[in-house]
Amino acid sequence: MTTSFENVRQQVFNTFNLADKNNYWKTMSEIAEDANVELRDVIKLVFNEPEIAMSTYRQKDGEPVFTTRDAFHKHAPFFVKFRGAIKIPLIDIYL
């Protein structure tokens, strides 16, 4: 049985709130397992929730990884945040 979207959202965000600096990027299956929710609910959430970000350069075993914006700001090193800040404008310049 599918849990309500708001409950899924809260469970996923709680999982990221408990993450440490070595484990704040997660695949969708890791999110589902850690938050104890169904994978299909995680898929809906990561593609519809603006507070969840997908890494443009990290992967685990070929799968994309995701984190919340709060977890990213809390755990990411400065140079990673800086690179993310300048990456988008540079792409726009060359288009």
Q: What angle do CA 22, 27, 32 make, to 5 degrees?
A: 105
Residue with tokens 């792409």: 91
Instruction: Note the pLDDT of residue 65.
Output: 93
Distance CA 35, CA 18 (A): 11
Instruction: Note the pLDDT of residue 90.
Output: 42
Instruction: Note the pLDDT of residue 72.
Output: 84
pTM: 0.76
Digit-by-digit pLDDT tens for the chain (95 residues) are: 455 889 999 999 999 999 888 889 999 999 999 999 999 999 999 999 999 989 877 788 889 999 998 988 788 776 666 566 556 544 444 43
Query: Residue 40: which CATH number?
Result: 1.10.10
Kindly state the greatest CA–CA separation across the chain.
47
**Count of CB atoms within 10 A of residue 84's CB?**
15
Cβ–Cβ under 8 Å, residues 2 and 41 = yes
Look at the chain and report how many structural domains it folds into: 1
Range of the domain at 13: 5-94
